[in-house]
């Protein structure tokens, strides 16, 4: 690598260090075959080959079940309908952020309060300039179930609480219909500041903000992460396929399970999909009732 590349990588690694991410692992790509074992990278020992955008993009097209460690967990395996066992998983996907970044031992026992304090009055990405309030997340710090949405809307931005607008009311209704209470679960988003005009967060905004989401999930250690909508699915699972195709199936995720489903805002725009959303919530309930 030349000096310019080295400096760029050093800066990036230092940034992730600030976020509490201290280890990066080399993926098993063509270029990494010579060194297939995980290697710890520090700002002073960056291997540009494994971190460059160009090379990372080469490694993205992999079956989701291969990269996540196992195929989607079928309903049959979970004690549900055998038909679901035949449901195909996503065929190919980009690498999720969490496969390139790892928060390990030193962060294992950090609390949500510590993560929140570390986030502070964050201005790490451009979304800071348009927000009123950072929407960190809300709910039970020991929840078995986490909902991850896309980003705060106007109501959330005003109140600093996730899912309080119309979509939030639908989510609350689904939670209650499933026999749970909102205070029993944890709710957060891929990005913590409202994107202008509620646009979809941009990849660099997600990449900057979502390490905090990862730390929140690791602090809570839920049994299930429910990804609400495509940005959450892409961020957490790296899934390339559309939400319609992969929703309602269980995937291995960070030692736990994840289930993608529709974002409530999408269901508000497409009321006929509420039936599907209810079905997915029933799967969540069945999963949580099953033995650990």
Binding site for ligand SF4 (CB under 6 A): 119, 122-125, 127-128, 134, 191-193, 205, 208-209
**Nearest distance in Å: CB 122, ligand SF4:** 3
Q: Which residues contact 160 (CB under 8 A, 6 or more apart)?
A: 133, 134, 135, 136
Q: Which is nearer to ligand SF4, 59 or 189 (CB)?
A: 189
Give the orientation angle of helix 166-177 with respect to helix 274-289, to 10 degrees.
50
Q: How many CB atoms lie within 10 A of CB 28?
A: 14
Give least dist CB 107 to ligand SF4, A.
Answer: 18
Nearer to ligand SF4 among residue 62 and residue 216 (C-beta): 216
Q: How far is the CB of 21 from ligand SF4 (least distance, A)?
A: 13
Q: Which is nearer to ligand SF4, 49 or 159 (CB)?
A: 159
Angle, vertex CA 177, rays to CA 175 and CA 181, nearest 5: 40
The DSSP H or E segment spanning 158 is helix 154-159
Q: Which is nearer to ligand SF4, 122 or 285 (CB)?
A: 122
What lies within 8 Å, CB to CB, of 142 at 6+ separation is 220
CB of 134 to ligand SF4, least distance (A): 5
Q: Which residues pair with 257 in a beta bridge?
A: 224, 252
Closest approach of Cβ 247 to ligand SF4, in Å? 25
Q: Which two tokens stand for residue 87?
A: 């449901």
User: Looking at beta carbons only, is 186 or 287 nearer to ligand SF4?
Assistant: 186
């Amino acid at each position: 690598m030349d000096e310019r590349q080295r400096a760029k990588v050093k800066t990036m690694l230092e940034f992730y260090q600030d976020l509490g991410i201290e280890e990066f692992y080399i993926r098993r790509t063509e270029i990494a075959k010579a060194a297939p074992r995980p290697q710890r990278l520090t700002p002073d020992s960056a291997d540009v080959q494994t971190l460059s955008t160009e090379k990372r993009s080469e490694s993205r097209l992999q079956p989701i079940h291969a990269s996540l460690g196992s195929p989607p967990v079928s309903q049959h395996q979970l004690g549900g309908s055998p038909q679901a066992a035949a449901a195909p998983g996503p065929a190919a996907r980009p690498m999720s952020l969490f496969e390139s970044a790892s928060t390990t031992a030193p962060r294992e026992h950090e609390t949500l309060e510590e993560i929140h304090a570390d986030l502070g009055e964050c201005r790490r990405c451009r979304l800071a300039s348009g927000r009123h309030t950072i929407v960190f997340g809300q709910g039970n710090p020991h929840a078995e179930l986490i909902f991850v949405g896309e980003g705060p809307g106007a109501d959330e931005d005003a109140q600093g609480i996730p899912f309080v607008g119309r979509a939030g009311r639908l989510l609350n209704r689904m939670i209650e219909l499933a026999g749970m209470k909102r205070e029993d679960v944890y709710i957060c988003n891929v990005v913590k500041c409202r994107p202008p005009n509620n646009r979809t967060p941009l990849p660099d905004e997600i990449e900057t903000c979502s390490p905090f989401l990862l730390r929140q999930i690791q602090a809570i250690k839920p049994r299930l992460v429910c990804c609400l909508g495509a940005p959450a699915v892409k961020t957490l699972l790296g899934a390339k396929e559309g939400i319609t195709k992969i929703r309602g199936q269980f995937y291995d995720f960070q030692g736990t399970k994840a289930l993608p489903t529709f974002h409530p805002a999408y269901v508000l725009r497409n009321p006929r999909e509420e039936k599907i959303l209810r079905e997915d919530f029933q799967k969540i309930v069945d999963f949580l009732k099953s033995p650990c």
